[in-house]
Structure 1
Amino acid sequence: MSDAQLTDLPATFDPALPYELHPQVEIRPEPFGALLYSFKTRRLSFLKDPVLVTVVRGLADHASASAACRAADIEEPARLEQFQRALATLASTETIRERST
């Protein structure tokens, strides 16, 4: 990702940092991907890409959000940017959060 693209991400999200699913968020598998419900914000989110569901579920198992994407075989720069933007949105809505190391 170029420096210009990185600056387009919300300031609260850094793909080099470790993240996890917020403990007050539940994931319900669906044929299209998953529903995420936050008991904290009462927000319902739809993940329409099963690979994104895999990334979100795997965040806590990896050293960074970028590493979780790579583990899901997301390598192509444009696709990686797309996934990082999705993760940034999830971070901004408190669906995922930065993990303490």
Structure 2
Amino acid sequence: MSTEAEAEVRTEPFDPARPYRLSPDVALRPEPFGALVYDFGTRRLSFLKTQLLVDVVRELENQPDVPATLDSAGVPAPERTRYLDALAGLLSAGTIEAR
């Protein structure tokens, strides 16, 4: 028997070779530190803590895969692993989804 919290956990693995986009249930509100993220489906509020991460999330829809997105957004090579980890977390949370 599953609980409601278990039902909200996303199990889809993050694959940088796939295209992603901001979930249609999510709105971003720009802030000086990055953005507030509101999920209308779960009513959860979270944060994107840098403007560059906001740029990456917004650019996902325009690129064929995650590496192209990171290139387009200007993510420096030494920081790419951190951004891949962040995107995997955003997928798990439902902030982004595969296209």
TM range (shorter): 0.7 to 0.9
- The whole-number CA distance in structure 2 between the counterparts of 1:11 and 1:82 is 19
| 1:74 counterpart SS class | coil
What is the aligned-residue identity percentage? 48
What does the per-residue CA deviation read over 1:29-56, in whole Å, with 9 as the maximum and x for residues that have no partner?
0011000100112121111110000000
Q: Which amino acid aligns with 1:50?
A: Q
Q: Please give the secondary structure, in 2, of the residue aligned with 1:97.
A: strand
- 1:91 corresponding residue in structure 2: 91
Which residue of 2 is the match for residue 18 of structure 1? 19
In 1: Cα distance, 2:65 partner to 2:15 partner = 9
User: Which 4+ runs in 1 deviate beyond 6 A?
Assistant: none
Which consecutive residues of structure 2, in runs of 5 or more, have no partner in the other structure?
Answer: 1-10
- 1:11 Cα shift? 6.1
Aligned to 2:49: 48
Q: SS at the partner of 1:36?
A: strand
**Cα separation, 2, equivalents of 1:26 and 1:44:** 10
Counterpart in 1 of 2:7? none
In our comparison, the structure showing a higher alpha carbon Rg is 2
User: Does the CA contact (< 8 Å) of 2:12 and 2:92 recur in 1?
Assistant: no
One-letter identity of the residue aligned with 2:58: R
* Cα displacement (A) at 1:12: 1.1
Q: Please give the alpha-carbon distance, in whole angstroms, between the structure 1 residues aligned to 2:48 and 2:66.
A: 17
3-state SS of 2:30 partner? strand
Give the TM-score taking structure 2 as reference length: 0.84
Residue 6 (structure 1) aligns with: none
* Post-superposition CA distance 1:56-85 (Å, at most 9, x none): 011100001221111112241x41000010
SS in 2 for 1:52: helix
Corresponding pairs, count: 89
